[in-house]
Amino acid sequence: MTDQNNPFSDAVPGEPVAPRAPMGRLIVISGPLSSCCHQLAWAIGRHLDQSMVIDGPVLAGMVASEHASAADELGTIRTLLLRYCAEIALAETYRRGGYDVVIVEDLPGHRLNDFRDLCTPDDIHLIILDGTVKNYPLGLHVMSRPDVEALAAGVLSRLGESLLKKAPAPYPSSGITDPAVEWQERGGPSPWD
């Protein structure tokens, strides 16, 4: 069996191909970001065989200069979407290598929808730490406690409850599948401009 359709494959035609590692899981820790979210992400990572933690606020801090792009609402949205894309791209790289990836990111309300649209077609495990159902309606809701390692073990034992299947087709009510077009339909310029 060869992987002739993959341009990056080292496979030699006619030679057997080593099996790929299974795709790792995508676990998102969200809620009002506090040190507990970061501690829980690292504790969950330590409980897994192969894992990577991606910290959204740390990634945001890596931006050296934004000039005026974040000065208005559109710039803020653009910055968030770029950060989500970077998190998801890095996560996918490691997940393809068999790593489970834990992302720490505050995703209330519509931000979760944007994040899930970018993750499509992947499922995600969403853990909400100390968040209200009003602001964070989906996911497995847990409360922080002093023993973070025990909390991580408890979350992992209930991980199936946190699974959000791949997001439905984006913007089903309007039939529009391009976020830039959707934004323009609502009267604004494209967030990508």
- pLDDT (0 to 100) of residue 70: 52
Place of tokens 């080593």: 18
Among the ranges given (45-59, 67-81, 88-102), the one the predictor scored with the smallest mean pLDDT: 67-81
CB neighbours of residue 29 within 10 Å: 31
**Residue 174 covered by a domain:** no
In a domain, 181, yes or no: no
CA distance 113 to 137: 11
pLDDT given at position 62: 87
Residue 43: give its domain's CATH number: 3.40.50.300
Give me Rg for the CA atoms of the chain.
19
Containing domain of residue 127, as a range? 26-168
DSSP assignment of 89-108, as one string?
A: HHHHHHHHTT-EEEEE----
Backbone dihedral angles phi then psi of residue 54, each to the nearest 5 degrees: -115, 120
On whether residue 1 sits in a domain, the answer given is: no
Beta strands in 65-175 (DSSP E): 100-104, 124-129, 140-142, 163-164
Residue 65 lies in a domain: yes
Each residue of 16-56: pLDDT tens digit? 766 677 899 999 999 987 779 999 999 999 999 999 999 99
Total domain count, the chain: 1
Collapsing DSSP to helix, strand or coil, 178 comes out as: coil
Query: Is 54 among the domain residues?
Result: yes
Tokens of 71: 């000065």
- Give residue 144's pLDDT: 92
pLDDT value, residue 63: 79
Name the least confident of 77-81, 134-138, 158-162. 77-81
- Asked if residue 45 is part of any domain, the answer here is yes
Domain-located, residue 127: yes
Comparing CA positions, the residue from 23, 25, 36 lying closest to residue 104 is: 36
Say whether 167 sits in a helix, a strand or coil. coil
